[in-house]
Amino acid sequence: MALYSYLLISIIIFTIGVYGIITQRSGIKILMCIELLLNSANLNLVAFSSYNGNSTGQVFALFSIAIAAAEAAIGFAILVALFRLRDTINLDNINILRW
């Protein structure tokens, strides 16, 4: 029963994240949504780990958090550089790679 509720929260967070990525236009908001996705996955890992009585998942979640931090730093750096260049971080305007 406990596992079920954890997974439910995880699914809700994940869905919010996906919804945000698809609908939002601001780069910062999208980055935040990506963090939500990662954290829902982390929650899953910890939940299963606790459920199975096996600490591997917890350790793995720690790794995942560390990598998420690095990823966020790089993501924000890119956005800062982009802002300096284009004066906007609205992704609708950043589409030079299309046909």
Binding residues vs another protein (CB under 8 A): 18, 21-25, 30, 91-92, 94-99
CB of 4 to another protein, least distance (A): 17
Is the Cβ of residue 84 or residue 98 nearer to another protein in the bound state?
Answer: 98
Cβ-contact 7, 20 below 8 angstroms: no
CB of 55 to another protein, least distance (A): 25
Q: What are phi and psi of 53, to 5 degrees?
A: 65, 35
CB of 31 to another protein, least distance (A): 12
Chain centroid to CA 84 = 24
Residue 15, both tokens: 């869905």
Is the Cβ of residue 26 or residue 58 nearer to another protein in the bound state?
Answer: 26
